[in-house]
Amino acid sequence: MTADIDPDKLKSSLQSRLESLRNLYSGNLISKSTLSSQLLELITTREAKSFWDLTMKQDFTARRMLVMLEHPKRWIADSSSPEEERLDLFKERLIEIFLLRDAVSDDLLEMLLDTACLPHFESIVFPRDSKASSKKSEAKLSILD
């Protein structure tokens, strides 16, 4: 299935959507809160996941280590934050990345996905229970129950 997917088309599509978000935000048509929600929606799409799987997944350990080494204080603060605050923290990180880069930046998409794949944020983007919830639970009962 992944053999027939063109990563360049995926990247182009995702970058086009990022450019649209940039235009909306720079035109004061959406707030930071809406922007952060839209960025989250964008990186949780099937397209973004496919792009990550095809182009970045094989290097994810190195990418995580690089982020940790570039921002050790942020890594410690983010990873030690309470679970219930991580979604808001994650959205803040997405906004920071988005606002730091030019609209023409080729690495903006990769930086957003690198952040999404950090161990303290990946459960938000790639929930582990999504596969488990699609399976039927087969309860085993005994006569003694």
Contacts of 15 (CB under 8 A, 6+ apart): 106, 108, 109
Q: Which of the four pLDDT bands, split at 50, 70 and 90, describes residue 5?
A: confident
* pTM, 2 dp: 0.79
Lookup result for tokens 């190195």: 62
Q: Could you tell me the CA-to-CA distances from 118 to 12, 22, 44, 125 in Å, in that order?
A: 24, 24, 14, 10
pLDDT exceeds 90 at position 95: yes
Q: Please, what sign has the CA dihedral across residues 7, 133, 78, 26?
A: positive
Q: Which residue has the higher pLDDT, 47 or 145?
A: 47
| pLDDT the model gives residue 132 | 43
Share of the chain above pLDDT 70, in %: 81
